[in-house]
Chain A
Amino acid sequence: AQSVTQLDSQVPVFEEAPVELRCNYSSSVSVYLFWYVQYPNQGLQLLLKYLSGSTLVKGINGFEAEFNKSQTSFHLRKPSVHISDTAEYFCAVRVVRDDKIIFGKGTRLHILP
């Protein structure tokens, strides 16, 4: 079975500082990887996805993530955060040729002024 581990439940970071949100996955078969963002009182929005090809994936709002197969990781990064990035971020995995998306527990990003 597939699983997703987000190592940090909360990450505080100062405005304009860089941030990395960590995600590790477990799967015995090939998977697709996703990062979603959930702003307060809103549904989830896709930030970026890795399907194949280049392991460095760029998404919306200046975020990027790198797929590392040997470390089974898909960490999310942004070089300079803004107050508007305050949200919960979910890493997710889907088995190739399957429908079901498995979500991690989420990481709450706190931007400090």
Chain B
Amino acid sequence: EAGVAQSPRYKIIEKRQSVAFWCNPISGHATLYWYQQILGQGPKLLIQFQNNGVVDDSQLPKDRFSAERLKGVDSTLKIQPAKLEDSAVYLCASSLISRNEQFFGPGTRLTVL
């Protein structure tokens, strides 16, 4: 069974630029999560989707971050414009249904200069 796929694996941008990350969850998984993991900290949930609907985006900085999961499968997370403090690893995870075990992708490491 293929795992959660993410791309790109690494991205370096300058502040005020835009960036987008892509996630392909495990086939059949209805729930998809985006986490932000700042160096030295644990992952923090940014947004949770159930199929193509948002369940929880309470910790998403909506002035600059956006995410979508239009067909209930792949998802993209966008930052526009990026700030220095956005430097982090962005992890995508999926689960069969909510409250089941979450499976994590390898993450995208973003560096904002």
| Residues in chain A within 8 A of chain B (CB atoms) | 4, 9, 41-46, 49, 90, 92, 94, 97-101, 103-106
Contact = CB atoms under 8 A, between A and B. Distances in A.
Interface string B6-39: 0000000000000000000000000100000000
B112 interface: no
Contacts of B106: 41-43
A43 B105 contact: yes
Nearest to A49: B101
Interface string B66-110: 000000000000000000000000010100001101101111000
Interface residues of B, number: 21
B105 A99 contact: no
Nearest to B106: A43
Nearest to B97: A99
Given A42-B106, A43-B107, A106 B41 contact: yes
Given A103-B42, A104-B42, 17 more contacts: A4-B42, A42-B107, A43-B4, A43-B93, A43-B105, A43-B107, A44-B104, A90-B42, A97-B99, A99-B56, A99-B99, A103-B44, A105-B40, A105-B41, A105-B42, A106-B40, A106-B41
A97 B91 CA distance: 23
A42 B37 CA distance: 12
B91 A46 contact: no
